[in-house]
Amino acid sequence: MYMDAVVIAGIATVLLMVGFFVGVGIFVIKDQKEHGHRDTKEGKHGQKPI
């Protein structure tokens, strides 16, 4: 396969996007574990007026 600058830039772009989404996923998982489930809902509609 011929590797020119466009192919290398495309592979780098895909790797950066994958790294970004993995980083966001790790952040969300850590934040979820830190704060836990804050369930303040009372009944079906929560505390909001119907």
CB atoms within 10 A of CB 29: 10
Predicted confidence at residue 41, as pLDDT, reads 56
Predicted confidence at residue 35, as pLDDT, reads 86
Predicted confidence at residue 38, as pLDDT, reads 66
pLDDT-derived band at 16 (thresholds 50, 70, 90) equals very high
Q: Flag whether pLDDT at 49 surpasses 70.
A: no
Closest CA to 1 of 19, 10, 13, 14: 10
Higher per-residue pLDDT: 12 or 47 = 12
pTM of the model: 0.61
